[in-house]
Amino acid sequence: MTPAARLQAAIEVLSAIEKSARPADSAAAAYFRERRYIGAKDRRAIAERVWRVLRAQARLDWWIARCEAEGGSRARVLADLAFQGEPVTPDLFRGPHSAWPPEPDETRMIEWLRETRSLFHHEMPPEVRGEYPAWIAPRLAALFGDRLAEEMGAMRDEAPLDLRVNRLKATREQAIAALAAEGIQATPTALSPLGLRLASRVALVQVQAWRDGLVEVQDEGSQLVALLVGARPGMAVVDYCAGAGGKTLALAAEMANKGRLVACDVAEWRVDRAGDRLRRAGVHNVTRRVIGGESDKWIKRSAGSFDRVLVDAPCTGTGTWRRNPDAKWQLGEADLLELVGRQQAILASAARLVRPGGRLIHATCSVMTEENEGQVATFLAAHPDFRIVPVAQAWAETLGTPCPVEGDGLRLTPLRHQTDGFFAQVLERLPA
Ligand SMILES: C[S@@+](CC[C@H](N)C(=O)[O-])C[C@H]1O[C@@H](n2cnc3c(N)ncnc32)[C@H](O)[C@@H]1O
């Protein structure tokens, strides 16, 4: 592809993402699927520009408005071009599949921004600098206080690629060696004893160590949540919102394939997707179960029979904004409130499965207080037969290393822990 065609393709992908209700990665994948003639190298170059623009969207829009140019995907790409200092020659707008040449207002904007160089400006409001919607700003300010700008700055940056070593198949040292043999440099993560961080992004489908199930993609924070569940060989465990099995795999490895692990979800297509991953990882103590929501008969029949129940609740995903920068612009206050209600119903339903003396773990990949500490407080007010297990205790029991957080729950942020934003609270049902 010519640079001109790549530029136009980036504009088209961004427009497709904006029009689609789907996450950016699946909207972009659909765009490329319909254009199989676009080769891997071109796809990578186009995607790099698209994700850079998505990460800088609020700041680019601020500059476009300041330049009094017309907004939209095309303007964002042209502004990005200018900030990157790339040459804007007539060739960039010539030939098949190219964008039309800049209008006079766009040319003015490009020239201005090429001089400006920095995406930041001292007059930008905090939510523009930090790239988050204005409606959520008061909540984030209350949560992070003095650290707001730094925390949101860390959430703006690109996330690293983390792997979890599958204990069923390898030690961390063996996995590092297997990856090194394929020319992939991986270093141990600071908090998870199973984590590896890659020096650069790789297409894992082509990596033998991944194909053999030695490693699985999982953010370090997600690994820590799974470890805090404290699943052990021989236990009866439920992964209540299992999705495609990210945490199920980690729980099965902690159980050394021994005992009973039930992976539930209301979405059949997600549960189906776990199949290949479980096979690749050599897991065989998992029963997958599609449930029909909180009134599902299996839940009623199985009341009080599990040692551990993990609720990895559907949430706003505010902790994963560095991976999904488009998600923040699709989220509204009504979504947050709706999710808080749904989480409460799910937690109350899942709690029925816990045996006396067993544990219920509420987890989200969100930083919002309502979805985390607030949710736990509401639950405890209605369930006096449960008590909090402080994170320091659960951490000492399961990880045995110094606990990196204070307070009752595990609260991780990209700034403080170099993980995605996560929350987990361990609760125990009082013995009968
Ligand atoms: C955060 S995702 C789970 C991610 C998964 N645990 C992992 O680690 O890969 C939340 C999941 O909750 C599921 N879910 C939504 N409503 C539910 C309900 N009422 N009961 C059970 N699961 C539900 C969604 O289908 C989604 O797969």
Checking if the pLDDT of 368 tops 90, the result is yes
Residue 152 within any structural domain of the chain:
no
Residue 133 within any structural domain of the chain:
no
From ligand 1's centre to the CA of 350, what distance in Å? 12
- For residue range 197-244, list pLDDT tens digits in order: 998 889 899 999 999 999 999 999 999 999 999 999 999 999 999 999
pTM above 0.90, yes or no: yes
What integer pLDDT is reported at residue 186 of this predicted model? 97
User: Could you tell me the pLDDT band of residue 88, with boundaries at 50, 70 and 90?
Assistant: confident
Please report, for the domain that includes residue 83, its CATH number: 1.10.940
What integer pLDDT is reported at residue 199 of this predicted model? 82
Determine if ligand 1 sits within 6 Å of the CB of residue 314. Answer: yes
From ligand 1's centre to the CA of 314, what distance in Å? 5
The answer to whether residues 318 and 351 belong to one domain is yes
Determine if ligand 1 sits within 6 Å of the CB of residue 270. Answer: yes
The answer to whether residues 367 and 398 belong to one domain is yes
Are 54 and 62 contacting, i.e. CB atoms less than 8 angstroms apart?
no
What integer pLDDT is reported at residue 432 of this predicted model? 82
The answer to whether residues 116 and 197 belong to one domain is no
The answer to whether residues 226 and 253 belong to one domain is yes
Residue 321 within any structural domain of the chain:
yes
The answer to whether residues 234 and 298 belong to one domain is yes
The answer to whether residues 204 and 244 belong to one domain is no
From ligand 1's centre to the CA of 264, what distance in Å? 8
Average pLDDT score over residue span 295-324: 97
Determine if ligand 1 sits within 6 Å of the CB of residue 266. Answer: yes
Which one-letter DSSP state was computed for residue 105? Answer: H
The amino acid occupying position 72 is G
Residue nearest to atom 19 of ligand 1 (CA): 293
Mutate to test the pocket of ligand 1, among 266, 335, 349 (most ligand atoms within 8 A of CB): 266
Determine if ligand 1 sits within 6 Å of the CB of residue 23. Answer: no
Determine if ligand 1 sits within 6 Å of the CB of residue 348. Answer: no
The answer to whether residues 201 and 281 belong to one domain is no
Average pLDDT score over residue span 123-149: 97
User: Could you tell me the pLDDT band of residue 377, with boundaries at 50, 70 and 90?
Assistant: very high
From ligand 1's centre to the CA of 270, what distance in Å? 9
Q: What is the mean pLDDT of the chain?
A: 96
The answer to whether residues 312 and 323 belong to one domain is yes
Q: Which residues, at least 6 apart from 320, have a Cβ–Cβ distance to it below 8 Å? A: 327, 365, 420, 421
Cα 254 from chain centroid (whole Å): 22
Determine if ligand 1 sits within 6 Å of the CB of residue 317. Answer: no
Checking if the pLDDT of 429 tops 90, the result is yes
Residue 141 within any structural domain of the chain:
no
- Cα→Cα distances 138→120, 126, 135, 317, 326, Å: 21, 11, 7, 18, 20
Domain with 203 in it = 162-217
What integer pLDDT is reported at residue 177 of this predicted model? 98
Count structural domains, the chain: 3
What integer pLDDT is reported at residue 336 of this predicted model? 97
From ligand 1's centre to the CA of 415, what distance in Å? 26
The answer to whether residues 167 and 261 belong to one domain is no
- Cα→Cα distances 296→29, 108, 183, 262, 406, Å: 35, 61, 48, 14, 37
Residues annotated in the binding site for S-adenosyl-L-methionine, as ranges? 265, 312
State the closest ligand 1 atom to the C-alpha of 313, by its place in the atom list counted from 1.
Answer: 10
Determine if ligand 1 sits within 6 Å of the CB of residue 312. Answer: yes
State the closest ligand 1 atom to the C-alpha of 364, by its place in the atom list counted from 1.
Answer: 1
Write out the catalytic residue numbers.
365
Residue 182 within any structural domain of the chain:
yes
User: pLDDT > 90: what percent of the chain?
Assistant: 94
Please report, for the domain that includes residue 331, its CATH number: 3.40.50.150
∠271-364-141 over CA atoms, to 5°? 150
- For residue range 244-276, list pLDDT tens digits in order: 999 999 999 999 999 999 999 999 999 999 999
What integer pLDDT is reported at residue 231 of this predicted model? 98
Residue 134 within any structural domain of the chain:
no
Residue 129 within any structural domain of the chain:
no
End residue of a domain, out of 65, 95, 124: 124
Checking if the pLDDT of 327 tops 90, the result is yes
The answer to whether residues 106 and 93 belong to one domain is yes
- For residue range 154-197, list pLDDT tens digits in order: 999 899 999 999 999 999 999 999 999 999 999 999 999 999 99
What integer pLDDT is reported at residue 44 of this predicted model? 93
The answer to whether residues 108 and 180 belong to one domain is no
User: Could you tell me the pLDDT band of residue 96, with boundaries at 50, 70 and 90?
Assistant: confident
Residues annotated in the binding site, as ranges? 265, 312
Please report, for the domain that includes residue 180, its CATH number: 3.30.70.1170
